[in-house]
Chain A
């Protein structure tokens, strides 16, 4: 078992076109570091020096991590992390 991370179309250039990749770690932050070791550059598209990028949504199972612990949200084997760019504009 591992953590399934679902990747949006626009970031699949980092995953060789894969819609979902497997990750490991005890928190969302750990999982992103783990993914970046196999998919370099992916993490930078999701977080910046201040934390999660404002217009990228990350969910653990059915919850937006902004309403949980943000990058420190706990994850465990069998969880699904979904990354979705916000649909937004002016």
Chain B
């Protein structure tokens, strides 16, 4: 299950709407091992395409170094589909490389409603999971 704050959901959806009809992409980082998506980081889609997304390679290096310095990991990896449903494409599955992450898909194909779904993608197997949107992440549950 993905537990995520409503503010973060709103930020992801707003990013997807803003970049429509191109795909939007980004991550939500959190402390290593916490499974808490805390820090919203929108990325540039270097492909600038309605059917493909890719983080710019130097942005990717900077992002991973920064997370490393802060003891963070990508808790959520998100991107949008702009004319199809919010389900991982064959390409999404082929390139999924963060087995610990929640892969969030947002569909902006309908102007008035948004699909927001989450998946695990491990060894090319896609498993949808429940999304629980909370007003705010609990401050500490350890």
List the interface of chain A (C-beta within 8 A of B): 8-10, 55, 57, 59, 62, 64, 66, 82, 84-90
Contacts and interface: CB of A to CB of B under 8 A. Distances in A.
Interface in B81-97: 88-92, 94-97
A90 B60 contact: no
Interface of B: 25, 27, 43, 47, 51-55, 57-58, 60-61, 64, 73, 77, 79, 88-92, 94-100
Contacts, number: 69
Contacts of A9: 73, 98-100
A30 to B, nearest CB: 22
B61 A88 contact: no
B98 A10 contact: yes
A58 to B, nearest CB: 10
Given A9-B100, A10-B97, A10-B99, A87 B61 contact: no
Contacts of B60: 57, 84, 86-87
B97 A89 contact: no
Contacts of B73: 9
A57 B52 contact: no
A46 B25 CA distance: 24
13 contacts: A9-B100, A59-B57, A59-B61, A62-B58, A62-B61, A85-B97, A86-B97, A87-B55, A88-B53, A88-B95, A89-B52, A90-B89, A90-B92
